[in-house]
């Protein structure tokens, strides 16, 4: 087998940890949290078995908050106590770090709503 560099990724190149990329999010009260993006696997699991957007959000918060680390129960308590704009700052950062922010590249798979025109 050739060791020549073909420019194609090797399997190990596909395993760059998402956790290596983090962002501090200012909560607006002099405090901040550190978040990371979701892996593809985590994204799929976050919505598994539920249509409840609040549960999906809790799963994402408990998965992606690096500092402080939250349990699902703590994420729910935060949802109940927080104003929408504060958690939105955090979830928007998670989406952006996950490559899911508005304006992110869309799939070219037919049926995604993009007819290419």
Per-residue pLDDT tens over the stretch 41-87: 999 999 999 999 999 999 999 999 999 999 999 999 999 999 999 99
- Residue 2: predicted pLDDT: 53
Which H or E run contains 66?
strand 65-67
List the strands of the sheet with 65-67, edge to edge.
22-26, 32-36, 65-67
The Cβ-side half-sphere exposure at 31, using a 13 Å CA radius, reads 6
Per-residue pLDDT band for 115 (boundaries 50, 70, 90) equals very low
Residue 61 near residue 70, CB atoms below 8 Å: yes
Buried b (16+ CB within 10 A) or exposed e, 49-65: eeeeeebbbbbbbbbbb
Any bridge partners for residue 24, and if so which? 34
- Indicate if the pLDDT at residue 107 is higher than 60: no
Domain boundaries of the chain, sorted by first residue: 16-97
Residue 16 near residue 36, CB atoms below 8 Å: no
The Cβ-side half-sphere exposure at 7, using a 13 Å CA radius, reads 0
Distance, CA of 3 to CA of 101 (rounded, Å): 37
This prediction has a pTM of 0.76
């Amino acid at each position: 087998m050739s060791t020549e560099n073909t420019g194609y990724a090797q399997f190990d190149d596909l395993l760059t940890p998402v956790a290596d990329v983090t962002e501090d999010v200012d909560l607006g009260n002099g405090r901040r949290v550190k978040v990371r993006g979701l892996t593809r696997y985590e994204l799929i699991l976050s919505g598994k078995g539920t249509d409840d957007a609040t549960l999906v959000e809790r799963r994402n918060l408990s998965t992606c908050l690096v500092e402080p680390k939250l349990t699902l129960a703590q994420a729910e308590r935060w949802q109940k106590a927080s104003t929408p704009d504060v958690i939105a700052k955090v979830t928007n950062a998670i989406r952006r770090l996950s490559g899911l922010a508005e304006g992110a590249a869309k799939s070219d798979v037919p049926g995604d709503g993009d007819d290419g025109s």
